[in-house]
Structure 1
Amino acid sequence: MKPAIRIGVIGLSVHSDDYTNIINGTPGGNGRQGCLVTVLYHPPGNPDVEFKEEQLARFSASVTKNGVRLVNSIAEMLPEVDAVMLLTNDGRPHLKEIMPVLKAGKPVYVDKPMAESFANVKAIFRQAEKYKVPIFTSSPLRYVRRAQQFAAGETVGKVTGAETYGPAPIQKSHTDLFWDGIHGVELLYTVMGTGCEYVSRTFSPAGDLVTGIWKDGRTGVFRGLRSGRIGFGGTVFGTEGIAEIGGFDGYQGLVDVILTFFKTGQPPVSAAETLEIYAFMAAADVSKKKEGSLVKISIA
């Protein structure tokens, strides 16, 4: 039986391995939600962020075991698929890699970091709009079960503030928080919603403390971890209580949202929200350079 959606993957990474296992490993042989990863192309990576050869070999063996065929170019992949997951680990080549996908009219999910700079994040969305192709990006942390409950107004009522934490290693080729800080920042936005106006960042080699002030007076805080025990989580404050978000509970939530997106063509996270998230992190970078000064978010 032919799958409803044939998915092509660009990039060998932890996510391309794990997402393929979830999608193609569903019993029945027709994939999760009737979708299958069928083809993968791995472009040459930048050595400063590329996985080790033994890791790449392991990822390759895993995806081929799941019935995925490896091809030699994006051009070879595109005629054989209905949708694309751009899962290269490095944000720098994403704009270049996504262009043939957009020109071919294939809906595309872009892994984090969407790009290495805010300018290129905006460029990707402009090109998607130009070619009228549905696109979205999201950290898996957005789809932590408890985070979705808080976003829906469950558990603590209306959210009045939140604090999240997560790893924030520095990758010199990317805006600081884009690399891994995106996870905790997107978790913060999941429970707080959009509307942040000002950002300040206190930086030390051991970590970051980033505070956002929302237009309605609420505050949200992200603690970026670079020393001691590293993990994900946070606390949500609401009109009816205070509760913990809990840790990461797997990729299945995001994968199911990606597959539904491919079937409907409706992005589950708007471009406007994603742009604000990346503008928040870009403003935090400016605040770092200004020794923690309050910086107004700008999406222009």
Structure 2
Amino acid sequence: MVKKIGFIDYFLDEWHANKYPTWIESASGGMMKVTCAYGMIDSPHGRSNAQWCEDHGIELHSSIEEVIQESDYLIILSPDHPEYHEELAQLPLRSGKPTYMDKTFAPDRGTAIALFNTAREYNTPLYSSSALRFASEYTEIERKGIETICSVGSGSFNNYSIHQIEPIVSLMGTEATRVMFIGTANSPAMIIEFSNGRQATINHFGPECPFTLTMNYDSGEARVAKPESDFFGSFIARMLAFFENGEPAVDPAETIAIITIIEHGLKAMHTPYQWIELPS
């Protein structure tokens, strides 16, 4: 029996919503399909929600309640507008149905904690992740003994820093203690200090810059990882496994740590070269 997935989005005509339905159906062998969707507004620069649904053969609903009722599993999208996640998630997180929330999980630490608390209270499986976390070049990295990481990538800090910070936290853990902005307006950069003096830097360059991690170990050895594998395929596979077994692929503590770093990184941009302490 085909399992039904419902989309809940700020507006539906965006890159993730355009790609996920085909990827999900293909990866599940047709056993999971996106069948219905809700968008809070029509895209300001693209197709209306009605046109998007017609183009994808997906039923448009006028309320989040209808999507929840018609779905076995839920995906909350709005990848570039996390400020709407809390509003979009209130009913899904009370549904008890496995819910994946797209990156960036929340605009700040307080909201992230509140979302997980609501999901826990109503026994709703919930997780979120950057797809880059699941690149095989990253998952195969030896974690023990990492002393420093230098990360580079493209995109703006506001909505692309998660693609650098998420792999760093997955490798170095959740014990980030403070951050410092060291970049420019066109090339944002930040130092993240972890427990025991370990450090990571993230650097944003132009659109031609590929995501890459360089690690130095306490042994003095250096390693470089450039994600060239099908990390979106791995990401979708883990999402489908989560829907089936209700077991999140990412520890909530890591997601909260990631959001904490992003939130305070944005604050650090206003006071360059000064440490901003992170809440524990």
TM range (shorter): 0.7 to 0.9
| Counterpart-to-counterpart distance in 1, 2:41 and 2:197 | 46
- 1:166 is displaced (CA, Å) by 2.1
| Counterpart-to-counterpart distance in 2, 1:82 and 1:228 | 37
| Counterpart-to-counterpart distance in 2, 1:283 and 1:166 | 19
Is 1:231 matched with 2:210?
yes
Structure 1 residues 28 and 91: CA distance shift in structure 2, 3 A: closer
Structure 2: gaps spanning 5 or more residues: none
Structure 1: gaps spanning 5 or more residues: 170-176
Structure-2 residue corresponding to 1:219: 199
Structure-2 residue corresponding to 1:173: none
- 1:77 is displaced (CA, Å) by 1.2
| Counterpart-to-counterpart distance in 2, 1:56 and 1:184 | 31
Query: TM-score with structure 2 length normalisation?
Result: 0.87
Structure 1 residues 204 and 256: CA distance shift in structure 2, 3 A: same
Name the SS for the 1:123 alignment partner.
helix
Structure 1 residues 214 and 26: CA distance shift in structure 2, 3 A: closer
Task: Determine which of 163, 171, 178 is the counterpart of 1:191.
Answer: 171
Is 1:92 matched with 2:89?
no
Contact 2:178 2:278 in 1 (8 A): yes
Is 1:63 matched with 2:60?
no
Structure 1 residues 292 and 126: CA distance shift in structure 2, 3 A: farther
Name the SS for the 1:165 alignment partner.
strand
Contact 2:153 2:210 in 1 (8 A): yes
Query: TM-score with structure 1 length normalisation?
Result: 0.82
| Counterpart-to-counterpart distance in 2, 1:259 and 1:189 | 23
Amino acid at match of 1:42: G
User: CA offsets per residue over residues 92-114 of structure 1, 9 Å max, x none?
Assistant: 22111111111222221111122
Is 1:39 matched with 2:36?
yes
- 1:57 is displaced (CA, Å) by 8.0
| Counterpart-to-counterpart distance in 2, 1:275 and 1:178 | 16
Amino acid at match of 1:98: A
- 1:264 is displaced (CA, Å) by 1.4
Q: How does 1:150-189 map to 2 (within 5 A)?
A: 150=141, 153=142, 158-169=145-156, 177-189=157-169
Is 1:298 matched with 2:279?
yes
Name the SS for the 2:62 alignment partner.
coil
Structure 1 residues 97 and 28: CA distance shift in structure 2, 3 A: closer
How many positions carry a matched residue from both structures? 274
Contact 2:38 2:67 in 1 (8 A): yes
| Counterpart-to-counterpart distance in 1, 2:47 and 2:35 | 23
Contact 2:94 2:118 in 1 (8 A): no
Is 1:247 matched with 2:227?
yes
| Counterpart-to-counterpart distance in 2, 1:58 and 1:233 | 38
Contact 1:178 1:278 in 2 (8 A): no
Contact 1:161 1:192 in 2 (8 A): no
Contact 1:163 1:188 in 2 (8 A): no
Task: Determine which of 51, 55, 66 is the counterpart of 1:76.
Answer: 66
Structure-2 residue corresponding to 1:29: 30
Task: Determine which of 255, 264, 283 is the counterpart of 2:264.
Answer: 283
User: CA offsets per residue over residues 201-245 of structure 1, 9 Å max, x none?
Assistant: 1131111221112112221111123x4734322212234842222
Contact 1:116 1:178 in 2 (8 A): no
Name the SS for the 2:197 alignment partner.
coil
- 1:61 is displaced (CA, Å) by 5.2
Structure 1 residues 63 and 110: CA distance shift in structure 2, 3 A: same
Q: How does 1:124-139 map to 2 (within 5 A)?
A: 124-139=115-130
Contact 1:147 1:190 in 2 (8 A): no
Name the SS for the 2:22 alignment partner.
helix
Task: Determine which of 111, 115, 118 is the counterpart of 2:109.
Answer: 118
Contact 1:19 1:251 in 2 (8 A): no
